[in-house]
Structure 1
Amino acid sequence: MTEIQQDAVLAQFREYILGPLRFANVLSCFELGIVDALRQEPASGMTAERIAKDTGLRVGAVEQMLLLPVKDGLIDHDAESGAYRLSGIAQVQESDLARVLPWMDMMKEVCLRQLYWLTESVRSGKVVGLKELYDFDGNFYEASTHYPQLQKAWGGMMDSVTGFIDPWFHEHLEVPQNAKVLDIAGNTGLGAVLAVEHKRDKDISVACFDFAEKETEALETFREHGVADRCSFIGGDVFEAVPTGFDVVMIKHFLDMFDKENVYRILTNVYEALGVGGQVVVLVPVYPEDITRSSSVDFFPAYFYGCTMAEGGPQKVSTYAKWMEDCGFEVTKVMAQDIAAMPADMIPVHGIVCGTRTQS
């Protein structure tokens, strides 16, 4: 290895070391109200003294916290006048920032704290952080039904992802007229709402299937969106049985939570619940064939093993198709998002795999 190559590797380690601190610094500028204060004076800007007065912070703290955003071009600083102005942040549309901030909140509340025990979680096959922080034995999704702060942080991010990905998903989703659709692990019910809204011409009905504890929130979501007549809730556990009587089963943002053995259990239960001609539609984060083209591998391994399940993680879309065939389905569609067409901040790359039960 040459000295240049060694320096490049050392620089990589430097970025790993600094990553958590850089993240915390930038997020705190939002949480402390510094960014909101600067929005009040977009043209003239504000001095550290003025920002400190508006936010209740010490002047020295404001100056220190703004060094990194200035270095990175998120905020501009005029050394002569002492004024700070939004720079890079001002170029981001509010709708895009509304997608980014829930991710940052989730990273803080769900990931940073629990990842302290990532090594122990991988070794033990249990989410050790949940035990250490909340004295909870189980996975994150079970814990989120008991701890509102976890549900709020994760749910906000997940609703943001759902709202972004669903138009693409439903553009490629084909359902029969008047179809009865089951949304497995439907969480807050937003996925069922979006399915009804995107397929109004098909006059479908959608049942949200999730743990019984999610019913109240899901029903409220249906009422808020005016689709209570088209959406319903069924409580249960996909590993025990899948409700029957549906034409299409959607499995969105769920299979990636599990290792191969459990994915097979889910798909097999879905197969047994469907009649001949019944369809399963899977929307799932996937890894591209060339992992250097995506940020998914930066996020998901540590997220699943250290924060949520202590198992799972996305697979390549071809792998999910093979697993679906192994569980009896005839695969009818396999596709993945075009990374080049996605927003630059987006982490997950999603794939769609569709299958049909062709045998009785």
Structure 2
Amino acid sequence: MDFFTTDTRNALEAKEYAQWIAFAPMVFQASRILRNNGILKHVEKSRRTGITIEELVKEVNLPLYNVRVLLEAGLGIGLVYIQDEKYFLTKTGYFILNDELTRVNLDFTNDVCYQGMWDLDKSLEQSKPEGLKVFGKWGTIYEGLSTFPEPAKKSWFDFDHYYSDNAFDEVLSHVLDQKPKKILDIGGNTGKWSIACANYCKDVHMTIMDLPGQTNMARKNIESKGLSDRIGFYEANILDEKTVFPKGFDGVWMSQFLDCFSDEEIISILKRCANAIDENGYIYILETFWDKQRFGASAFCLQMTSLYFTAMANGNSQMYDSKVFLKLVKQSGLEVVEQVDNIGVSHSLLKCKKIK
């Protein structure tokens, strides 16, 4: 990875970029509103001829002032450009309007993170998600997800599923082609991975281990698929170090799960995972490591998501640098026997076994 190894901007470019940081909240909210109120959509519709501000006012049924101030902000942001008093959509504007990755990230940032980020400094000081109080009085975001208000709940799950679901098809064969009979799906969330496994292999039995709120959501999904006889549940608070994991599994699966915990908590969880598998069993970890990304923008997204964990989720976890994470695996008494990078949008798969 060649990102973040040099300072490439000259002094003028650096000062200009610093202003983007200084006005970042305005840039974000103006972009979101330009997308949501239809202005960008109508500019795109007139991409061949352009559209005047007066024509836009009629199309979106908003006051002239609203349209003018937002369009002028859009010029500076780079979402639109103007020629002969007519507005056109830029490539960046196109992605804000149409790109699914951008939509998922923008909605997650606005609906889940935006208000709570005011308390990022307090979260760092206290090692607690101080921003979470905008939604409720929980110790971590996971305790409240099942009762989260809308649109935050939908945006959280859209964000989570966008990144994980795109990787599932690629990793099913890595996990199931060795014909395991019993797999423990830790942090199973809404049950999507267990359902995918049950559909891929008719002989595997899945057990979802998660908090009661999450297992209740998963149970409904699984019942609707007619898979209740092949997917069971084990309700537990995994953060409690006294929680003993069920035993006798051929494999343990964790997708975008361990990034929800601190270094010390990861070691504790992995040690208990080792006790859950048979001697020849494997632990499969699907994670997003920012240093294993193909593009700088992807690494950037993961680094910023780490701040969501700090302020909103639990106060002490992150999207990890793989070098840091692999040290935690080793400290847990496990070794990585296979690592597959560049899965889906941004994932890596670690296949681990006990060190003998």
TM-score, normalising length from structure 1? 0.81
Partner of 1:220: 220
Q: What aligned pairs does 1:1-360 form with structure 2 within 5 A after superposition? A: 6-38=11-43, 43-71=48-76, 73-80=78-85, 82=86, 84-88=87-91, 97-131=99-133, 133-134=134-135, 136-149=137-150, 150-170=152-172, 172-173=174-175, 175-177=177-179, 179-197=181-199, 200=200, 203-223=203-223, 227-228=227-228, 230-239=230-239, 240-288=243-291, 293=296, 294-296=299-301, 298-337=303-342, 349-357=346-354
CA distance in 2, matches of 1:48, 1:225: 51
Asked whether the 8 Å contact 1:140–1:308 carries over to 2, the reply is yes
Equivalent residue of 2:279, what SS?
A: coil
Q: Which runs of 5+ in 2 are unaligned?
A: 1-8
Shift of 1:40: 5.3
Instruction: Name the count of aligned residue pairs.
Output: 342
CA distance in 1, matches of 2:231, 2:45: 43
CA distance in 1, matches of 2:93, 2:26: 23
TM-score, normalising length from structure 2? 0.82
Equivalent residue of 1:209, what SS?
A: strand
TM-superposition CA deviations, 1:163-212 (whole Å, max 9, x none): 22323443644552253222211112223233445xx2574333322111
Task: Name whichever of 134-143 and 102-111 sits farther off.
Answer: 134-143
Asked whether the 8 Å contact 2:136–2:144 carries over to 1, the reply is no
CA distance in 2, matches of 1:36, 1:233: 45
TM-superposition CA deviations, 1:106-160 (whole Å, max 9, x none): 10122221111111111111111223x2451411222323323332221111111
Task: Return the letter of the residue paired with 1:234.
Answer: Y
CA distance in 1, matches of 2:49, 2:13: 41
Shift of 1:227: 4.9
Shift of 1:291: 12
CA distance in 2, matches of 1:168, 1:195: 12
CA distance in 2, matches of 1:224, 1:103: 29
Task: Return the letter of the residue paired with 2:315.
Answer: A
Task: Return the letter of the residue paired with 2:258.
Answer: L
CA distance in 2, matches of 1:289, 1:44: 43
CA distance in 1, matches of 2:167, 2:57: 39
The 1:9/1:88 distance shift into structure 2, 3 A limit, reads closer
Higher relative contact order (CA 8 A, sep 6+): 2
CA distance in 2, matches of 1:50, 1:224: 49
Runs of 4 or more above 6 Å deviation? 289-292
Percent identity, aligned pairs only, is 20
Shift of 1:44: 4.8
The 1:53/1:192 distance shift into structure 2, 3 A limit, reads farther
